[in-house]
Amino acid sequence: MSCSLPNRDTELIQITNAALAEATRKAGAWLVCRPGCTQCCIGAFSINPLDAARLRKGLDDLAAADPKRASQVQQRAREYLLRVQNDFPGDPSTGVLDESREAEALFAEFANDEPCPALDPETGSCDLYSARPMTCRVFGPPVRNEGGALGTCELCFHGASDEQIAQCEMQVDHDLEQEILREIANPQGNTIVAFALLR
Going by C-beta distance under 8 Å and a sequence separation of 6 or more, which residues neighbour residue 61?
131
More confident residue, 95 or 4: 95
pLDDT at site 1: 46
pLDDT in tens, 50-62: 999 999 999 999 9
pLDDT at site 132: 97
| β partners of residue 47 | 191
pLDDT at site 66: 98
pLDDT at 41 > cutoff 90: yes
Q: Per-domain residue ranges for the chain?
A: 9-198
Other beta carbons less than 10 A from residue 44's beta carbon: 23
Q: Judge whether 168 and 26 are in contact, CB under 8 Å.
A: yes
pLDDT at 129 > cutoff 90: yes
pTM of the model: 0.91
pLDDT at 189 > cutoff 60: yes
Rounded Cα distance, 157 and 124, in Å? 22
Average pLDDT of the chain, as a whole number: 92
